Structure 1
Amino acid sequence: TVGVWTFSVEKQPNSSSYIVSNNIKVTPTMTPKQKLPNDQLVFGKTFTDHLVYADWDEETGWKSPEIIPYGPFSIDPAASVFHYGLECFEGMKAYSDSNGQIRLFRPDMNIKRFRRSGQRLGMAVPDEEVLMNAIQELVKVDRSWIPEGSGYSLYIRPTMISTHPTISLAPSKQVRFFTIMSPVGPYYKTGFKAVSLYADHEHVRAWPGGAGGYKIGSNYAPAIQVSEDAATKNKEFSSVLWLFGNDFQVTEAGTMNVFFFWILPSGEKELITPSLEDGTILPGVTRDSILALCREWGEFKVTEAKFTINDVIDAVKENRLIEAFGSGTAAIVSPIKSIHFKGTDYPVPLDTADPEGQAGD
């Protein structure tokens, strides 16, 4: 089963600086920002009034987290984050329910993945409890930024960077953890509607034995131009469907894990998603939740395995593909309406009762 974490919010003191129950110092902003209405929110462009941060160095270890007004950092130009990409990040969301409680969806999984990513880069990482407390307290301080409305939430971006001032390729001796937050609506420009994918057969996102299964910036930066190139071919393409190998194995799509629901040649229904076994795919929290729920239902076969774009095309041609969708914290659950591969568009069925394909319905 899957679930959410909830916590209540107590009124904070009105002093200029105070300590909360878990010893996190809070310095409230003196210049609160104006909040935008939901219809003006663009994903990742608006940020809340505060951030939380903590520094580590080899000699003294981790300092206590502090919540301060949102603003720029001062970092040495030689910091290895700038030169070798020593950084990792996470994506989480906070919601406010009808009872006024704040809900975080499986944050323990995000925090475990966050720590694994940092360890993969050889960086010091805070304990899980420290990370959880810091993020929860930041959400409490800026809880008024959680937008109301279906599909809207407060996006939480924990990040760790190497602030070690050296251009030598070496393990980081100084690290900064920080978290910023942004009220968000739909991730894609299409809003909450179904998306079209460009299956790229020329570029590779990740490979076995690499770091594709970790949430680090070096997995995302090289993908930006490929996505832009796809969009210039057709503005309908919301994202790139990444393929791997001579047989064009399906991996993931942009920032999403992908699922295909089809009928096997035997007549059995199957929900399939690429497996994680070779380390090329990010182990998504939403992905894990979908798999757990569908297995709990027991209504059809649920499979994690390798399959190719040609398997998908065959299912389309033989009218065996029932639907396809992507999943992720940012993208939620996004129906896929078409896949373009080598000059041909392959339509993906949508719910006939909802031809616009509303995400997450």
Structure 2
Amino acid sequence: MPARLRLLTMFTAYDVVVAGGGPAGAATALRLARAGHTVALLERSRFDRPRVGETLAPSIQPLLRDLGVWEQFVALGPLPSWGTRSIWSSTEPAAHSHLESGYDSGWHVDRRLFDRMLCDAAAAAGAAVSLGASLIGCRYDGRWQLTCSGGRRVTGRLLIDATGRSATIGRSLGARRIAFDRLVGITAQWSGVDVTAEQYLLIESVRDGWWYTAPLPGDVMVGMFMTDADICRHHNLAASGPWRTHLQATTATALRLDTALRSTTSDGARLPTAPRVYSAASHRLVRHGDTRPWLAVGDAALAVDPISGSGVPRALRTAEAAATTAARLLLHPADAAPLTSYEATRNTECTTYLSTRADYYDVALPHPTPFWTRRKLPTPA
């Protein structure tokens, strides 16, 4: 483990404490540390389990260059993503090339390594990064008095919630999470797959949701079924049998996997890993009248549907806004204007996102089932 990742044991007082080491939290910590602030970054995992969100849009390139981590990203060996193929608004596959973006390609990555890369960059910039640590208690008395797992106590002038869709910190402080859906993703992976001809994202709408499949570095193929939590429970989709049954009921997705597996094995019968269920619900975290120096960033502030393809780029952009806001609050702690402006911008982003999400689903193939009807806008009277 890099030496800097042990710094939390040496200090107890920081300008900023960031809870959550995903892309939003790590990028916020990185920017603040580079600006000369003392920063503690707490990540409850040790990046030892798979993470979802494996396909990055071409727009990620300028964002990573701006963070100064492009070379580190390339060193991860990501696979180019040349575009998207979809069965969404037509039964015939539609193709979109990333060459039209101006950045040549998007990327398929191991998100576990990607997230760890950003945390390492934050540590290299001077942030005290602690893995296997999370906040279990917080109190504000002019400074944040924080208790970490394991009993460690630290203080901070500013607290940042980067705990993802759970928004654990913000909700514990009284903020209200407005949920827009109950979307979940049920995912599994196939290893030992020849993905040389599979470097694209495939999306397919089906009766109870939609599928995506994508290649990953290391000859891996990932498949995920997006549906609502109640539908997942009703069909027991967390179990391998029902999940595979739903997969075999697809057209392009099943064909893609069958072709990819047969190119590697003699019988095409290779089994995937056991399905894992992840929350993919959209929400906005709203704070009413709370002027204490804390803010939420990334999915903790506004979580979006994966169909938008904007998760990680959005996280990195809001990290920049969060770091700017935090720096202003540290300089002028009695001025509430930076917080007010930050929240107003997130509200505007939320409104735009909901309209965009409605447009995505409005052009999808008609499926008269609960999953799809829930995503239709009400018809004006």
Q: Same fold (TM over 0.5)?
A: no
Place the TM-score, normalised by the shorter chain, in its bin.
under 0.3
Identify which of structures 1 and 2 has the higher relative contact order when contacts are C-alpha pairs closer than 8 Å and 6+ apart: 2
TM-score normalised according to structure 2 size: 0.24
Q: Which of the two has greater strand per residue?
A: 1
TM-score normalised according to structure 1 size: 0.25
